[in-house]
Structure 1
Amino acid sequence: MTTLEPRDVPPRLAIGAFILNSGLGKLKADAETAQGVHGMACVAYPFLKKIDPERFTRMLAWSEITVGGTLLAPFVPTRLAGLALTGFSGGLVGLYLRVPGMREPGSLRPTQNGIPLAKDFWMLGIGLGFLGAHVRRSRTAASRCPWHRSRG
């Protein structure tokens, strides 16, 4: 299990606060906002049409609150927080790639409309970096290994 390293604190705080704030804002979404959020998600993921827009927006809000809280909680291992961030941002990257008008034709470069979603690539990259966080091993485990014992 990884512990919270000082180098992980700034990205966890920044992204965690950003996602948490987004989720808290969506909890108060009115019907029109819920329709917009749901409509955009349905373009990328058609199976979501089966879910009521207001229910979908509430579930999305609670998902964002959970991911944001996971990143902000210092007792949550960085790799676990990275797993949550990678899964969440992977879905958002899929949205960016599938919704028409977010990218320039034949390119990954964002249009003006796509710039707000392009940040999800950064979150995905940071999440993948957290997944690769170093696992600390105790010295006793290393001393039991004959290879390490011979090095003295």
Structure 2
Amino acid sequence: MKLPIKPRTLPGRLATGAFILHSGLEKWNGGEEQAAGIHGMAANAFPFLKSIPPRRFLRLLAAGEIATGAALLAPFVPTALAGAALTGFSGSLVALYLRTPALRKPGSVWPSQAGIGVSKDVWMLGIGLGLLADAATERQDS
């Protein structure tokens, strides 16, 4: 049986998939304080999220992370689908970073001390875009 992934995509899929899956599992049973903090940051960047209760938001975020991480780790999930999931997920994190001034140095895209943890999500976006590019060029070669 031929798997729909190439060995060259494995390092990025394994590293990001394991990281995101672990993050989602950690959030799944998160407490009120964690829910309020994560929801507050997200709702400040994306005001439409204010209408979602913090605990529900945290559970939805965790489910999204678990699904994205599992898709990246599952060898039967095509590279294009895994890349789209990672690009969408990490793109939203990069948007959160860009929409939260306290995470960046004044007048800059470079992270402040508080933004280091979120700014690294740009690497996941790069990996996701790389997976999409790999899938697109694979189809062109066929």
For normalisation by structure 2, the TM-score amounts to 0.92
Measure how far apart 1:3 and its partner are: 2.6
1:17-58: CA deviations, max 9, x gaps? 000000000011001110001000011000000000000000
Partner Cα distance (1:78, 1:113) in 2: 33
Q: C-alpha distance in 2, partners of 1:3/1:107?
A: 40
Matched residues in 2 for 1:83 and 1:13: separation? 15
Instruction: Report the residue type matching 1:18 in the other structure.
Output: F
The one-letter amino acid paired with 2:112 is: T
State how far apart, in whole Å, the 2-side matches of 1:30 and 1:117 are: 21
Provide Cα deviations, 1:58-85, integer angstroms capped at 9, x if missing partner: 0000000000000000001111100000
Aligned twin of 1:143 = none
Q: Report runs of 4+ in structure 1 exceeding 3 Å deviation.
A: none
Q: Which amino acid aligns with 1:56?
A: F
The answer to whether structure 1 residue 113 and structure 2 residue 114 are counterparts is: yes
Q: How many residues align?
A: 136
How far has the Cα of 1:106 moved from its partner?
Answer: 1.3
1:37 paired with 2:47, answer no
- What is the Cα-based RMSD across aligned positions, in Å? 1.1
Residue 123 of structure 1: aligned partner: 124
How does the TM-score come out when normalised to structure 1?
A: 0.87
> Which amino acid in 2 is paired with 1:15?
T
The sequence identity of aligned pairs, in percent, is 60
Between stretches 67-76 and 124-133, larger displacement belongs to 124-133
Query: Any unmatched runs of 5+ in structure 2?
Result: none
